[in-house]
Amino acid sequence: MTRRLFYILIIITSFNLKGFSQDDTWTKSNITDEMTLNPEQNKNWRMGQNKYSAKPKNAWELGVHFGHFFIDGDVDRTIPGGYGLGLHLRKAIHYVFSLRGDFFYGVAKGIDPQSWSHQNLGGGLVEGLYDKYSNLPSGWHPSHRTQYGYLSMQAVINIGNLLFHKERNKWNWYTALGVGLSSHKASLDLYDASGNAYDVSGITGDFDTKAGRKDIVNQIKDIYDGKYETEGYKKKGIFRIGDKTNVHAVFVASMGISRKINKRFNIGIEHQVIASDNDYLDGIQFRTALDQTNNVDISHYTNVRLGINLGNFNKVTEPLYWLNPLDAGMNDIADLKQRPVLDLTDTDADGIIDMLDQEVNTPAGAPVDTRGIALDSDGDNIADYKDKEPYSPPGYVVNSDGVADVKCCINMEDVNKAIDVKVNAKGKSDCGKWFLPMIHFDLDRDKIKPEFYGHLHHVANVLKMCPDVCVAVVGHTDVRSSNNYNQGLSYRRSENVVNYLVSTYGIDRSRFKLMYGGEEMLLAPGQREKEHYMNRRVEFRVCGPDDAEMAAPAVGSSSMEKSSSTKSTKTSKFIGNKNSGY
């Protein structure tokens, strides 16, 4: 029966390992806000408004174990001669400490090459069940079979996941201490098939040598019938459940090492020492009347454990003892190192810093646009700072100094030419060629950042200079949060920008097309913060034939629906804008 259970366990284990062999094992864990016990705290931590992240929800571990079990008592143990198996359920309290409930059942055997005699003959067989040996000087060689079980709660201390030089560990070393309740049944091969005491007077050999003890044991096996028909003596005056069971308080100490296979499975080896105030696990207490040892019987269990992490990894993480608690801090440090340093250098002193300047070598004093490019007001391809006639009349060829070649006198041909230019230009405007900037937003925010007021001032100036121009205002988000929520967030960003331009600069609302795209039109692919920042934006463009006002989305359009722009915190230790580098 035992062998059959062992083979079934091997088959199940092999099947599960094969089935989950493709699980993501060593990639960086992605712990979302919803996977933590306090999503709001974790969100504030990601945004730099809290020093500490929230504790992740982590999986329970269900384990099965089997191995070799023996009793270190008064009778020589048979090795190999016993087995054990059981189950455990483990839960991480934090990254180092976890609790484990453990159930164990085992069977151990022992046979002693030394002869024990009855107390009437000066021996240690003092209990009444040995009275048939009271007149046999040859005595009895103890032989027992003990069934043992316990149920315990253990505190497990994990050593191995505090890592400074790599993200994850494949090995975990741990130690455990626990207490529980145990029970046993010791059966003795005390009498032959007829119920008579064994006659072992013919057994010879030197029990003081290894070879001699082995020979004596073989002789005993030839005499004994191998039937453990007599129940061993039980200690009196102990805690009992009923009258036929004996239950002891038990102390369990363990040490082991486990190897991670993938997110779902780990396998390890562990050795347990099981101690209780009981000297009858092998059915014997004293060897002789003089050899009355005070040592209790100690059990040992060396076992292999297969751990199975339960749960959906989209909702919980692996158990915390497989995660590196330093991972979040190390990642933040790495992200900070990758962020561009805010460099306010303006090499050409044109008012546009080099980080934004598209023409960093503009001559001193040259007028530039918002991109740092030298202005060419009359569009003759000669920058104003070199143009001796910055506003040349249209339609004339200019020389190398930007001066139009206009004849001194106007004739009929010149009049007709000027009329033709005016007619052809009717209904046309260069306003569509103006540069319109974009503005960016903080994570999960729809409030306009003060550093972009200058951009909106430029947009307003263009609209005032070009009264016939219609501008499409298009809001976007990054890929975090649900698509429905991001649709509402991008709508609110566009709406706030339009309202700002209307209320601050008096631009007619009808000149704007409010549009939004949520997370569907990413400007920069990637998962780093700088890519997310570029995608959190509102763009401006001259209305095209396909641009139309978009209605508010069905969900997520209200600023009360998770809109962080209306939330306030009592205290904030963060000053500045970390996404801008300061």
- pLDDT tens digits, one per residue of 87-101: 999 999 988 999 999
Q: Is 501 helix (H, G, I), strand (E, B) or coil?
A: helix
Asked if the structure places residue 135 within a domain, the reply is: yes
Domain C-terminal end among 334, 365, 393: 334
Using alpha carbons, select from 193, 182, 196, 167 the residue that is nearest to residue 247.
182
Q: What is the pLDDT of residue 103?
A: 97
- Tell me how far the alpha carbon of residue 9 is from its chain's centroid: 29
- In total, how many domains does the chain have? 3
Residues 140 and 259 in one domain: yes
Measure the CA–CA gap between 577 and 580, rounded to whole angstroms: 6
Q: Do residues 67 and 120 both lie within one domain? A: yes
Provide the token pair at 438: 């974009």
Phi, psi dihedrals of residue 117, rounded to the nearest 5°: -115, 165
- At residue 105, the pLDDT reads 97
Are 253 and 368 in a shared domain? Answer: no
Q: What percent of the chain has pLDDT over 90?
A: 30
Residue 53 is predicted with a pLDDT of 86
Residue 511 placed within a domain = yes
Mean pLDDT by 10 residues, the chain (582 residues): 53 48 50 87 85 89 96 84 94 93 95 80 72 82 91 92 71 94 90 88 84 88 89 72 75 95 94 90 69 75 96 90 80 76 83 87 87 86 85 81 73 68 57 78 93 90 89 93 91 96 94 92 82 91 90 68 40 40 39
- Phi and psi at residue 374, to the nearest 5°: -60, 135
Question: Which amino acid is residue 331, in one-letter code?
Answer: N
CA 293/CA 305 separation, integer angstroms: 35
Q: Length of the chain, please?
A: 582
* Gap between the Cα atoms of 300 and 399, Å rounded: 102
pTM over 0.85: no
Is residue 174 located within the same domain as residue 99? Answer: yes
Same domain (yes/no): 487, 522: yes
If residue 484 lies in a helix (H) or strand (E), which one and from where to where? Answer: helix 483-505
**Spatial contact of 212 and 149, defined as CB atoms under 8 Å apart:** no
Residue that terminates a domain, selected from 299, 334, 369: 334
Q: 462 and 424, same structural domain?
A: no
- φ/ψ (deg, to 5) at 517: -135, 5
For 509-548, write each residue's pLDDT tens digit.
999 999 999 888 888 887 788 888 889 999 999 998 889 9
Question: Strand pairing partners for 107?
Answer: 83, 147
Asked whether 226 and 242 are in contact (CB, 8 A), the reply is: no
Whether residue 33 lies inside any domain: the answer is: yes
End-to-end Cα, the chain, rounded Å: 70
Q: Is residue 341 part of a domain?
A: no
Q: For residues 81 and 104, state if they share a domain.
A: yes
Same domain? For 220 and 86 the reply is yes
Q: What is the DSSP letter of 575?
A: -
Question: Residue type at 407?
Answer: K
Would you say residue 342 lies in a domain?
no
For residues 267 and 387, membership in a common domain is answered with no
- Does residue 346 belong to any structural domain of this protein? no
pLDDT of residue 439: 94
Q: At 520, which CATH number?
A: 3.30.1330.60
Structural domain of 208: 2-334
Specify the CATH number for the domain of residue 280: 2.40.160.20
Domain stop point among 400, 428, 456 = 428
Are 130 and 266 members of one domain? Answer: yes
Asked whether residue 340 is assigned to any structural domain, the reply reads: no
If asked whether residues 124 and 259 sit together in one domain, one would say yes
Cβ–Cβ < 8 Å for 265, 305: no
**Together in a domain, 491 and 417:** no
Is 223 inside any structural domain? yes
